[in-house]
């Protein structure tokens, strides 16, 4: 009991230190907040037919009311999590914390979304390989937790699809602008979850979202008013759509990674208002109960926010899904290139970073002195007149910080009328700066990166002629504007270019490691296409997402780890179809150990944020997804419930904290042979070793490989590839022999260092198992040093 009380106190303290929640009043002066309660479901008396009946009975009513004030849950969870959420005063929440069946409680929090050619760039080919073998994923159902879906879009057409799999248990929630008939053999399910939002904002989710962003276009139904959900769902599993483009850009055939897979949309996020933990958890709960095979979650805390797994609803919900055989892909976050910015760190999910593809949308700024500076743009309106040079103006020279950022009402119309205006990136949406310039009478805009964004470029569908440039080009442009008496320029838009080299690059915004919660687990796991991705779009808002943008487009081009995540979800759908017996861990292993770390010039994958810098496993994890190889990885590193429990024990979680995640009693294993367990011991496809202190340090980790190749008899030999840094890595045994009777083999990897390198810099490498028949099973190795506490 003492340990349980310590856990509850820890949860209470952590909850009270997280970001504040909007509150409602109980009418007597005490404000309310939404709390999520984890309940021991086994404690339900048999007199109650369901847990919902139990929670709303006198058993959970306020003691002061003598049962006359029953609990009113917002959500009841009974699949991936057991318990409920409710809007309560702090004193009432404290009463429930003391209920003998309540294991834990934490406050609801707001999370944010992480916002044609990419399947081919990952190695998929029509009528060949994984697409052909998996029948394009036709028997797999992908659940997407996001902003809903635009059901009429042709990327959600069910033409030529077979009947919905008989095992499907989901439904189609009706609501405004979304009749139940909106679902079909492609969009097999659609649900929405607004109770958490309604409690958080003191209004319905739709009106709260409208109030927060000035929009009237939100729907109390699964219909997508934002566009993000439609884009991610069709990136993962959009049907084949011919003659697709975004106003002429990226024209061609649009299709998802698993174009015949079925989509189930779970609207847990609302336009401009974010995503509440209580609604996200309800989405997980319902999706697993409905029978999805894959869940795609492009949502996270942002700003590198991390919480212990037992108070992180995405970690809790995803564990419940994975333990039932559902693969979960999550986005790594968009706070790169800052180190330790990666989110969604649970080792049972795939955490996906973003990379570029070999397609770009170039634009050039031609200066009055003849120089040409390179940028990118998705502007599709009337271009600047040929050879017309316009005056160039940088508001930051005289207008201060807000003017340099082109914030609303910050620039003087008399100074920018008819000119090309240079705006610094940051503090407001990129496209919103263009609106400011246009409203002030500017003719065009150049958006210049600063140090925080480096050379990473993202195309935007600007409302006026505009393009983005990297830090070096931006500095050159501003220097020209400052040093020339009458600086002039024009912008030339070059359309779509295919075959760009080098690619992939790690996107500058893609969140980076090391893992800020458990450094022994390398995150992100891998990268996938996430820059300038074309997919379906909502009919409710323009391509910029701004309320003032009247344009409507059938497809849109977006960038973010939000776009990378559904690429992984679609990939998992194909692998699940091709290998229905594989566990979520086996699927993730196949994606990781076959990932590539070289680009289309056969050079090392580089970091977009810093020209000339080779990326590391902290940037790309195991590498960039290569689906042509993932179909037949040779070996996989599998893991299940017992492995994850042992992992949580090894990082110091008490048994009752682990039970919040697992929904069942656990007993932590004891140390063997005096060896202290470590998070590095989890049978993970990557190896991250933390050494403490100075010299003469070593650490041994064990991995178990399972042969999934076509040949039961196979022999693999190890080789180690390490960068310099005074670290030695030994593998024992150096040969693994598999047979019809032996399909699992374990090996030890010992990392040793006589001393920490200068500055205690991380050391990187790989261990590769090769069978000489085309299988190279590659695991990244990262060695870091920490000073003991």
CB atoms within 10 A of CB 57: 15
Q: Which H helix or E strand runs over 715? A: strand 714-722
Active site residue 472: no
- CB of 746 within 8 A of CB of 704? yes
CA angle 511, 609, 500 (to 5 degrees): 110
Which segments of 56-194 does DSSP mark as H helices, in order? 90-97, 118-121, 129-133
Q: Burial level of 486, CB count in 10 A (0-12/13-18/19+)?
A: exposed
Beta bridge partners of 702: 748
**Which candidate in 228, 567, 624, 775 is catalytic?**
228
C-alpha 687/C-alpha 193 separation (Å) is 38
**Which candidate in 139, 146, 224, 285 is catalytic?**
146
Tokens found for residue 712: 């039961």
**Which candidate in 215, 562, 688, 779 is catalytic?**
562
Q: Which H helix or E strand runs over 703? A: strand 697-707
C-alpha 97/C-alpha 94 separation (Å) is 5
C-alpha 718/C-alpha 726 separation (Å) is 20
Tokens found for residue 469: 């440039």
Active site residue 228: yes
C-alpha 358/C-alpha 500 separation (Å) is 4
- CB of 606 within 8 A of CB of 612? yes
C-alpha 643/C-alpha 658 separation (Å) is 13
C-alpha 421/C-alpha 480 separation (Å) is 13
Query: HSE-up of 524 (CA within 13 Å, CB side)?
Result: 40
Query: HSE-up of 206 (CA within 13 Å, CB side)?
Result: 14
User: % helix / strand / coil in the chain, to the nearest 5?
Assistant: 25, 30, 45
Match 């496993």 to its residue by tokens.
617
Active site residue 562: yes
Q: What are phi and psi for residue 350, nearest 5 degrees? A: -90, 120
Question: Any idea how long the chain is?
Answer: 789
Q: Burial level of 492, CB count in 10 A (0-12/13-18/19+)?
A: middle
Q: Could you give the maximum distance between any two Cα atoms of the chain, in Å?
A: 86
CB atoms within 10 A of CB 184: 17
- CB of 691 within 8 A of CB of 785? yes
C-alpha 156/C-alpha 706 separation (Å) is 37
- CB of 629 within 8 A of CB of 594? yes
- CB of 569 within 8 A of CB of 330? no
- Active-site residues, by number, are 146, 228, 562
């Amino acid at each position: 009991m003492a340990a349980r009380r310590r856990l509850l106190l820890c949860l209470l303290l952590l909850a009270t230190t997280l970001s504040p929640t909007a509150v409602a009043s109980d009418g007597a002066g005490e404000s309310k907040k939404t709390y999520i309660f984890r309940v021991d479901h086994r404690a339900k008396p048999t007199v109650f037919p369901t847990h919902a009946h139990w929670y709303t009975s006198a058993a959970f009513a306020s003691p002061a009311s003598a049962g006359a004030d029953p609990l009113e849950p917002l959500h009841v969870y009974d699949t991936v999590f057991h318990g409920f959420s409710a809007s309560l005063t702090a004193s009432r929440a404290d009463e429930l914390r003391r209920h003998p069946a309540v294991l834990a409680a934490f406050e609801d929090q707001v999370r944010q979304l992480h916002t044609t050619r990419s399947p081919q760039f990952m190695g998929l080919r029509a009528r060949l390989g994984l697409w052909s073998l998996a029948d394009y994923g036709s028997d797999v159902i992908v659940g997407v937790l996001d902003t809903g879906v635009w059901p009429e879009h042709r990327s959600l057409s069910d033409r030529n699809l077979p009947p919905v799999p008989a095992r499907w248990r989901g439904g189609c929630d009706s609501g405004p602008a979304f009749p139940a008939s909106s679902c079909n053999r492609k969009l097999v399910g659609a649900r929405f979850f607004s109770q958490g939002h309604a409690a958080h904002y003191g209004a319905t989710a739709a009106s709260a979202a409208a109030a927060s962003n000035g929009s009237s276009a939100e729907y109390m139904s699964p219909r997508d008013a934002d566009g993000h959900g439609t884009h991610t769902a069709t990136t993962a599993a959009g049907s084949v759509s011919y003659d697709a483009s975004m106003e002429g850009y990226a024209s061609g055939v649009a299709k998802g990674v698993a174009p015949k897979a079925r989509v189930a949309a779970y609207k847990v996020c609302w336009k401009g208002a974010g995503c509440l933990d209580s609604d996200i958890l309800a989405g997980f709960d319902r999706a697993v109960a409905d029978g999805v095979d894959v869940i795609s979650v492009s949502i996270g805390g942002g700003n590198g926010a991390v919480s212990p797994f037992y108070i992180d609803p995405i970690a809790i919900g995803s564990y419940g899904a994975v333990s039932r055989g559902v693969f979960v892909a999550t986005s790594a976050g968009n706070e790169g290139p800052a180190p330790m910015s990666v989110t969604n760190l649970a080792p049972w999910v795939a955490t996906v970073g973003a990379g570029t593809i070999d397609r770009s949308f170039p634009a050039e700024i031609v200066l009055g002195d003849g120089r040409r500076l390179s940028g990118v743009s998705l502007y599709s309106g009337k271009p600047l007149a040929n050879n017309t040079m316009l005056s160039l103006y940088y508001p930051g020279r005289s207008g201060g910080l807000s003017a340099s950022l082109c914030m609303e009402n910050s620039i003087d119309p008399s100074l920018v009328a008819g000119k090309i205006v240079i705006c610094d990136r940051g503090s407001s949406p990129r496209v919103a700066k263009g609106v400011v310039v246009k409203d002030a009478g500017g003719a065009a805009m150049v958006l210049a990166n600063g140090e925080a964004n480096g050379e990473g470029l993202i195309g935007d569908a600007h409302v006026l002629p505009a393009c983005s440039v990297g830090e070096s080009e931006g500095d050159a442009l501003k220097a020209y504007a400052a040093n020339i008496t009458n600086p002039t320029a024009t912008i030339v838009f070059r359309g779509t270019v295919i075959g760009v080299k080098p690619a992939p690059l790690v996107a500058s915004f893609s969140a980076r490691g090391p893992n800020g919660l458990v450094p022994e687990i390398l995150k992100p796991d891998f990268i996938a296409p996430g820059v300038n991705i074309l997919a379906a779009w909502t009919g409710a808002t323009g391509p910029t997402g701004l309320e003032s943008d009247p344009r409507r487009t059938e497809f849109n081009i977006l960038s973010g780890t939000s776009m990378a995540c559904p690429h992984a979800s679609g990939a998992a759908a194909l692998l699940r179809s091709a290998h229905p017996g594989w566990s979520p861990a086996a699927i993730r292993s196949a994606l990781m150990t076959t990932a590539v770390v070289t680009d289309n010039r056969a050079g090392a994958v580089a970091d977009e944020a810093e020209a000339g810098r080779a990326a590391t496993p902290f940037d790309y994890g195991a590498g960039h997804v290569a689906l042509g190889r993932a179909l037949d990885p040779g070996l996989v590193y599998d893991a299940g419930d017992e492995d994850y429990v042992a992992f949580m024990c090894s990082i110091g979680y008490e048994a009752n904290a682990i039970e919040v995640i697992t929904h069942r009693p656990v007993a932590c294993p004891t140390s063997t042979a005096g060896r202290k367990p470590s998070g590095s011991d989890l049978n993970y496809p990557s190896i991250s070793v933390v050494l403490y202190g100075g010299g003469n340090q070593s650490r041994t980790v064990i991995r178990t490989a399972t042969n999934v190749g076509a040949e039961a008899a196979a022999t693999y030999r190890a080789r180690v590839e390490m960068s310099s840094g005074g670290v030695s890595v030994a593998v024992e045994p150096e040969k693994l022999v598999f047979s019809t009777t032996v399909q699992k083999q374990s090996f030890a990897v010992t990392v040793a260092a006589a001393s920490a390198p200068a500055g205690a810099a991380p050391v990187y490498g790989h261990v590769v198992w090769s069978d000489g028949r085309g299988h190279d099973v590659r695991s990244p190795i990262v060695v870091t040093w920490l000073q003991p506490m």
